[in-house]
Structure 1
Amino acid sequence: MSQDFAMMRTTAFLQTALVVDDEIQVGNDQYAAEEATLGTASLEMDYDQRASEGDEFGLDRVPGEDHSLDSMKVVESFADHGISCAVLQPRGPSPDDLGRVESLAVRSDIVVLDWLLGRSDEIKSGPGEETTSLGLVKNIVSHDIEAGNRLRLICIYTATPDLHSIVDRIGAVICDLHAYTDQVIVDHGSLSVSVDSLRILVVAKPHHSAPPDGAVCTEAELPARMIYEFCELAGVGLLPQLALAAISSIRDNAHRLLARFDRNLDSAFISHRAMTDSVGAEQFAHSLVSSEVTSLLSTVEVASAVYEAPIEARVEQLLGNLPEKRMLNKVKFGQSYRSVTLGEAREILTNGLDSNGKVRIDNADVPLRCSSTTSLFSRSEQEHEIYSESLAIDLAFGALSSLARTPEHDGKGTPAPLLRLGALLRGDDGKYLLCLQPLCDSVRLSGSVAFPLMPLSTASAESEVFDIVVGSRDSYVALSRDGVKLSDVRVASFDASSDVGMVQALWGSEDSRWRFYGSRSSSVQGGDAGAGAGNPVFEWVGDLRPEKANQIVAHLVTNLGRTGINEFEYLRRSGRK
């Protein structure tokens, strides 16, 4: 996939930017004329002298330094890329100013912050020794983590001399906030801090006194740099482009949704609610919007991100600079590789199997019995490394295709998980359970309600069949419904929430997990003592995609319909299995 195509998709996705600076100027009119109050101290003051005067890190504002920002250039340059930009100028450490910045920042695609905000060198945004800008970064990232680790690009745009120290201080804060400290990357070469879906850059203003190579960016260049960085963060690859295209299409076609949901139909919906109940009506409204969005996505060119041309380009990109010898696993389970050329690998990956399930290898049609061709992308040379690497990628994609909601992206700030068909639970004994309660029987509840839970066995992804993958990062678990009978289904009782008429999970602040707490009368026992000591407790593992949950239920029901007869053994063994 070409960088130009990815940049085009990213630019179409980005809509809003927020720039915060206390020394803005419009053209030649500077609103924060610091020269009048800061004097004319030399810009050549070295870091040792600064340290002797109390600035240990070389981060304070030096009299005479130009920290101004030409807001007109910034706004016009963002507008040239089709991005609406707001510029805020805090007047000091007032709660209103900081609250306004934070509320806008969480809704902006791009956030640009000056490092030092306000006329004093260190304006505190709370307890501790943080500058206002660092405090804002901490609050924005904390909000994003609670909301399920949303995609976030933050730029520190500053004329403060020691950019490396800024990177170190930001890195320390992100390490304190993030659960996976070892995955936080503090890169002094690119002046950035990155982890997961978060990237924070430190960029020098054009009047920086001694910027590192490549660190300076003018106001006119800033938008293009932010689009490029956002593309690198989220837009490179087939699946990110697919997701960006889908979101952009929904944004661009919002008027079509509004036209369909006419206010003149309100009376009919209210009538429906009156004849059912509030919770059922809310679920019905949700399903209407969901199906309408699905229909919308099917009518626009969202799938163009995974058409043949992008696929071929991405295959070339992933196979580029790889050795000529590629390894293809020949078996469904385990490791048994055969060597193929780079050209054959390209043919297999772009054209796939023929109608007979065969591929062209060594100028001959060979049946492809393996369950994955991901090993063709591996850069490893040892077979066991190739297998482990490709298996990890396949399991990660298996989790994406299995689960509609996951704990990794549904934290405290997201709607509480509900107990209904497709909810995956894990008891305190480590066993996995799938809720089979139909959606219609999961609403309008009161008191203690029984829920059927189907046990799922853990399976070795290397040697056993499995249907579902759960987990995140490098810790994935394969689950199988194989061999489950109706007699294995267990029943547990849960107390419905009185305000929503459904069973909701509760957030555990101590370990940041969602849990369902059963009633005392439940027949399935857990070992955790939560809301009500002695109640069985089930950790929420995720929600299956609806079609996956329905498939498992259909398999169970089909097994119930089997007719068992006592017949002549010869006929039974001769019959069709």
Structure 2
Amino acid sequence: MRFLRNVILVDDRALAGLQEAPVDADVAPVQVAVPEEVAAQLDVIGGDAVIPGSRPDLPAQVAPSEAVDALLDDEALGPSGDIDTGALVDAFADVGIACAILAPETASGRDRQRILQLANRSDIVILDWILADRDGSHRVSSDSLIREIVEQDQFAGGRLRLLCVYTTDPDLSAVQRAIQRSLESVYKDEDIQAGDSGGRFLICAPHLRVVIYAKPSRRVRDDHVVAEGELPARLVSDFNDFSQGLLSGLVLHSLGVVKDEAHRLLARFPDEIDAPYLTHRALVGPVQAEQFALQLVADELGSVLSSANVQAAVHQAQVDRRLNDLLPRQRGPKVRTKTGDVYLRRDDTFEFFSQVPKDKVVRREDGAEYSLRKARSYTHLLVGSEGEAVELDHSFAALSCLARNPRFEPETAAAPVLALGTLVQRMADSELNDGRPDVVEYLLCLQPLCDTVRLDDATPFPFIPLEVRQEGDGPFNIVTFTPEVGGKSSRRCYLSTSGKKIRDLKSFRFTPNEARLVGAVWEAAGGGWTFRDIEGNSFWWLGDLRTDHGHRMAGTFGSMLGRIGLDESEWLRLMASERNG
């Protein structure tokens, strides 16, 4: 996987082995074959890896501790255990990943800040379960550190995060429970899932996976031990399982290509072109120049991705692999008919999605045909329920039409700017409803981009009111999310421009900010970005349409201005209407 580039190991004993360089004559090197799928993805150097530190003579089972908390007070357990850092670093290097080592002298203060700072820059973080001060006077478990890393990710808007706890504690299930309890303050209970298989203890939460592996130690069951030389391949496989989707794979592959091609991008933007850019900036103004510069970089990124053929991540082989994951193993999906529930043939359903036949027909298990010609969506054939299918279809629709979605943006994101394609909800005076504002109407801004910059005075902005649709109640062409009061949650909102005329346009006047444009202001009470006009009306930001979507909306209403009205025979007008339709 081209995305994975760097790993950080945090272990207070990480440098002990390097400093002392002990030689254990009783420990024989073990040849471990790297899995073919991992080797194929990562171009592993060599076929086998020598893993010093493996102990084939470990006892079959060691009595586990009663609880993780007891580990901190049990002196008989001793220190967390040394780690063969050299073997670990070499094994990561063999798969093209750089491994940084951090051996903190203490688990607090400046060392803790270093850990959090490096974790923010690392693709994978490996943590010893027990971190002790250098003099052994203070020992703490890593569950609070894991929580801080996840909270840091949440504050930044979320990120794909793989954490590994690498420990000599024999009771891995107790470690798992402690981490799960620590994460309950970050996630809702239903969002955290825990399990174990094949010696791997796992915790899953939105955008997060925590895996727990045992270091080589006489205290740990041998079927739970993962030697240092084996750990990189395990973690790469864990990361692949974490991001096995088609589109998420495309994103990760694209990010890896961008890393590889950074030099090519920089070559396209040499320092010498700063002079003409500054001339352009002086001519058009700072805001428009910044947007133009951003667009240039985005276009170059698109060019790099296209030439690198990143779309191969969603080609036929990957589609077939994902279909095998999504479709039930034993039989095809269950569908509802007028006569009851029936099952479709799995191979027919697979071929339908893989080859997309023109007849849009899938055979049932009884041999009868099941037509999908009139279906607007086939998602229900790939997921557990029709309700879940509707949710996923609508989420994909929101992704396709929204360039910026406040649901996925942190508070630190750039403030929205009122322009063509901005979606807002106008709120009533909060005093009218016991301090909880009501939505007056939903609006779409139609102000041309050139008229949203270099503003000196209060400027009118045209909006078209949008009709709110309930699910399945009439057509809609915009899917967004509207925040609840306080910004603690959001609900999906379906909006439509259907039937709107030029006469429905509304105008509100806004005062520009110091940058000579109309920017939103973050309001903690509402939990989101808000625009305010000169009359004091409050407009909550719901997102920005993608550029093409915004232009299409503007084009639809602009074309109405070109209609030619004339007086003619009413009979002739009616005849024309009948023939046309």
- TM-score class, shorter: 0.7 to 0.9
Counterpart position of 1:139: 148
Q: Which amino acid aligns with 2:109?
A: P
Is structure 2 residue 196 aligned with structure 1 residue 194?
no
Alpha-carbon displacement from aligned partner over 1:171-210 (angstroms, at most 9, x marks no partner): 23322123x4431224466533322111222322222624
Q: Is the 8 A contact 2:157 2:408 kept in 1?
A: yes
Alignment equivalent of 1:21, drawn from 11, 36, 43: 11
Counterpart position of 2:349: 345
Which shifted more, 56-65 or 142-151?
A: 56-65
Which shifted more, 104-113 or 427-436?
A: 427-436
Counterpart position of 1:159: 168
CA 1:205/1:320 → structure 2, altered by over 3 Å: closer, same or farther? same
Paired with 1:273 and 1:336, the residues of 2 have a C-alpha distance of 67
Alpha-carbon displacement from aligned partner over 1:326-362 (angstroms, at most 9, x marks no partner): 53899xxxx99997543443333222253xxx43556
Q: Is the 8 A contact 1:17 1:108 kept in 2?
A: yes
Q: Which amino acid aligns with 1:501?
A: R
Alpha-carbon displacement from aligned partner over 1:405-447 (angstroms, at most 9, x marks no partner): 2223211233233322222222333332222222222233455
Is structure 2 residue 240 aligned with structure 1 residue 249?
no
CA 1:352/1:74 → structure 2, altered by over 3 Å: closer, same or farther? same
Counterpart position of 1:524: none
Paired with 2:340 and 2:509, the residues of 1 have a C-alpha distance of 48
CA 1:228/1:257 → structure 2, altered by over 3 Å: closer, same or farther? same
Alpha-carbon displacement from aligned partner over 1:41-60 (angstroms, at most 9, x marks no partner): xx999857xx9xxx954345
Which shifted more, 73-82 or 136-145?
A: 136-145
CA 1:485/1:62 → structure 2, altered by over 3 Å: closer, same or farther? farther
Paired with 1:574 and 1:326, the residues of 2 have a C-alpha distance of 50
Alignment equivalent of 2:281, drawn from 273, 278, 281: 273
Q: Which amino acid aligns with 1:16?
A: N
Counterpart position of 1:86: 100
Q: Is the 8 A contact 2:214 2:220 kept in 1?
A: no
Alignment equivalent of 1:459, drawn from 469, 484, 488: 469
Name the SS for the 1:458 alignment partner.
Answer: strand
TM-aligned CA deviation for residue 83 of structure 1: 0.8
Counterpart position of 2:57: none
Which shifted more, 359-368 or 280-289?
A: 359-368
Q: Which amino acid aligns with 1:284?
A: F
Q: Which amino acid aligns with 2:226?
A: C
Q: Structure 1: any 5+ residue segments left out of the alignment?
A: 1-10, 33-42, 125-130, 380-385, 522-534
CA 1:68/1:374 → structure 2, altered by over 3 Å: closer, same or farther? same
TM-score for both structures, normalised by structure 2? 0.79
Alignment equivalent of 2:71, drawn from 58, 67, 76: 58
Q: Is the 8 A contact 2:469 2:495 kept in 1?
A: yes
Q: Is the 8 A contact 1:493 1:518 kept in 2?
A: no
Paired with 1:474 and 1:348, the residues of 2 have a C-alpha distance of 35
Paired with 1:78 and 1:486, the residues of 2 have a C-alpha distance of 63
CA 1:132/1:413 → structure 2, altered by over 3 Å: closer, same or farther? farther
Alignment equivalent of 2:519, drawn from 486, 500, 504: 504
Paired with 1:31 and 1:95, the residues of 2 have a C-alpha distance of 30
Residues 103-122 of structure 1 mapped to structure 2, 5 A cutoff: 103-119=117-133
Aligned-residue Cα RMSD (Å) equals: 3.4
TM-aligned CA deviation for residue 16 of structure 1: 0.9
CA 1:110/1:574 → structure 2, altered by over 3 Å: closer, same or farther? same
CA 1:30/1:138 → structure 2, altered by over 3 Å: closer, same or farther? farther
Q: Is the 8 A contact 2:65 2:170 kept in 1?
A: no
Paired with 1:253 and 1:65, the residues of 2 have a C-alpha distance of 44
Residues 516-535 of structure 1 mapped to structure 2, 5 A cutoff: 516-521=530-535, 535=536
Q: Is the 8 A contact 1:328 1:340 kept in 2?
A: no
CA 1:114/1:544 → structure 2, altered by over 3 Å: closer, same or farther? same
Alignment equivalent of 2:507, drawn from 481, 488, 491: 491
Q: Is the 8 A contact 1:242 1:303 kept in 2?
A: yes
Counterpart position of 1:75: 89
Q: Which amino acid aligns with 1:490?
A: K
Paired with 1:564 and 1:315, the residues of 2 have a C-alpha distance of 54
Counterpart position of 2:481: 471
TM-score for both structures, normalised by structure 1? 0.80
Is structure 2 residue 147 aligned with structure 1 residue 148?
no
Paired with 2:164 and 2:333, the residues of 1 have a C-alpha distance of 42
Name the SS for the 2:541 alignment partner.
Answer: strand
Alpha-carbon displacement from aligned partner over 1:506-531 (angstroms, at most 9, x marks no partner): 334456x322130342xxxxxxxxxx
Is structure 2 residue 115 aligned with structure 1 residue 101?
yes
Paired with 1:475 and 1:543, the residues of 2 have a C-alpha distance of 17
Q: Which amino acid aligns with 2:247?
A: L
CA 1:540/1:301 → structure 2, altered by over 3 Å: closer, same or farther? same
Paired with 1:486 and 1:373, the residues of 2 have a C-alpha distance of 37
Name the SS for the 1:194 alignment partner.
Answer: strand
Q: Is the 8 A contact 1:61 1:116 kept in 2?
A: no
Q: Which amino acid aligns with 1:297?
A: L
Paired with 2:424 and 2:161, the residues of 1 have a C-alpha distance of 30
TM-aligned CA deviation for residue 286 of structure 1: 0.7
Counterpart position of 1:543: 544
Q: Which amino acid aligns with 2:175?
A: I
CA 1:23/1:323 → structure 2, altered by over 3 Å: closer, same or farther? same
Name the SS for the 1:12 alignment partner.
Answer: coil
TM-aligned CA deviation for residue 264 of structure 1: 1.4
Identity %: 33
Is structure 2 residue 392 aligned with structure 1 residue 393?
yes
Q: Which amino acid aligns with 2:128?
A: D
Number of equivalences: 515
